[in-house]
């Protein structure tokens, strides 16, 4: 059954992403990876995890060992220390006993200054580590999040494998970045503002900037007091906006790092969203 699942997924991946060749992977983030000869990698959705999000998947024959989520950061995040400090502050809020492990710096073949840091949720050596990569050319920055799937995999090998993947990273030319996932978002790109009176009489103002590179920035205030600032990534599928929060102040709990809003109504100047968790609606007006 595992073998069949892999065959089906790889076939779908090959059909949908004509820009992804056997010897390279081009992610929708804009990073291109040459595939090391000794690794079995695909770029695909993993239905058991997320039917829409695509990952670099590392296989051992028919066993999925690990997945890598690659994201492009919003403009301005060019310092690895600043980003990683905020990232681990958020992780610490979700996992108070987390421990940071070893780290490594290297330059990728595409001249990206790169840092990888290992961390564990509990600090216990029995807890499988996660990895976070940060890459920048001082103009744009990217992050990679590695999650171990196979409980029996050698985690030292996972780090070695993924470091070898990111060492072969470069920024892809615009012509070959997969366009399939970006076309539907074009109409929504821009600056939006919601100005509403809440049922308790308080005044809510929310600013939302949706960008072409599928990053977003948002700021929310109530009665003139800022209650949330956040950045992250977004995409649209089947009339739903999927949000992934990469940074927030205050820190969001781990179960709130991903969110979905149904698109109830949309035209050139107005966007009505309904949160799938709470059912709350907000009406945004375009400001640019």
Q: What is the CA radius of gyration of the chain?
A: 20
Specify the pLDDT at position 176: 59
Where do we find the tokens 């103002």?
A: 205
The Cα angle at residue 71 between residues 186 and 57, in degrees rounded to 5: 115
Q: What is the pLDDT along the chain (288 residues), one digit of tens a residue?
A: 333 344 334 333 333 333 333 478 988 888 999 999 899 999 988 888 777 778 999 999 889 999 999 988 877 889 999 999 988 988 888 788 899 999 999 999 999 999 999 999 887 767 889 999 999 999 999 999 999 999 999 999 999 999 999 999 999 876 555 544 445 677 898 999 999 999 999 999 999 999 876 788 999 999 999 999 998 888 888 899 999 888 888 888 878 888 999 999 999 899 999 999 999 999 999 998
Residues in Cβ contact with 229 at an 8 Å cutoff, skipping those fewer than 6 apart: 218, 219, 220, 248, 249
Q: Which residues face 135 on adjacent strands?
A: 114, 142
Residues in Cβ contact with 188 at an 8 Å cutoff, skipping those fewer than 6 apart: 210, 236, 241, 266, 271
The token pair that represents 278 in the structure block: 């709470």
Architecture of the domain whose range is 183-286: Beta Barrel (2.40)
The token pair that represents 86 in the structure block: 């905020």
- Give the start-to-end residue ranges of the domains of the chain: 2-171, 183-286
Nearest to 73 by CA among 137, 8, 5, 162: 137
Q: Can you tell me whether residue 19 is helix, strand or coil?
A: coil
For the sheet with 50-60, list strands across it.
40-46, 50-60, 63-72, 141-148, 130-136, 113-120, 99-107
Query: What fold is seen in the domain 2-171?
Result: Protein Transport Mog1p; Chain A (3.40.1000)
Q: Residue 84, Cβ neighbours under 10 Å: how many?
A: 17
Indicate yes or no: pTM above 0.85.
no
pLDDT in tens, 125-170: 678 899 999 999 999 999 999 999 999 999 999 999 999 999 999 9
CA distances for 31 relative to 107, 110, 187, 188, 194, angstroms: 14, 10, 24, 23, 34
Q: Give phi and psi for 87, each to the nearest 5.
A: -60, -50
pLDDT in tens, 87-123: 898 888 878 889 999 999 999 999 999 999 999 988 7
């Amino acid at each position: 059954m595992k073998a069949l699942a892999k065959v089906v997924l790889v076939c779908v991946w090959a059909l949908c992403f004509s820009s992804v060749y056997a010897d390279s992977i081009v992610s929708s983030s804009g990073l291109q990876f040459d595939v090391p000869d000794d690794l079995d990698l695909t770029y695909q959705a993993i239905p058991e995890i997320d039917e829409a999000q695509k990952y670099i998947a590392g296989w051992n024959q028919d066993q999925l060992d690990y997945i890598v989520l690659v994201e492009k950061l919003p403009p301005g995040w060019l310092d690895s220390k600043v980003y990683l400090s905020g990232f681990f502050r958020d992780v610490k809020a979700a996992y108070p006993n987390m421990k940071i492990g070893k780290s490594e710096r290297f330059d990728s073949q595409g001249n990206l200054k790169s840092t990888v840091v290992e961390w564990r949720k509990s600090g216990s050596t029995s807890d499988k580590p996660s990895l976070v990569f940060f890459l920048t050319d001082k103009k744009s920055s990217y992050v990679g999040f590695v999650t171990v799937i196979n409980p029996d995999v050698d985690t030292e090998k996972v780090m070695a494998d993924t470091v070898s993947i990111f060492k072969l990273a470069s920024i892809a030319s615009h012509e070959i970045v997969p366009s399939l996932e970006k076309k539907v978002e074009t109409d929504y790109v821009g600056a939006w503002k919601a100005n509403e009176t809440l049922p308790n009489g308080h005044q809510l103002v929310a600013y939302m900037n949706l960008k072409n590179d599928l990053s977003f920035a948002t700021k929310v205030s109530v009665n003139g007091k800022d209650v949330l600032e956040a950045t992250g990534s977004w995409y649209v599928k089947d009339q739903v906006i999927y949000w992934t929060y990469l940074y927030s102040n205050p820190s969001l709990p781990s179960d709130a790092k991903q969110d979905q809003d149904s698109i109830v109504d949309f035209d050139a100047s107005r966007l009505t969203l309904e949160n799938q968790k709470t059912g709350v609606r907000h009406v945004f007006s375009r400001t640019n």
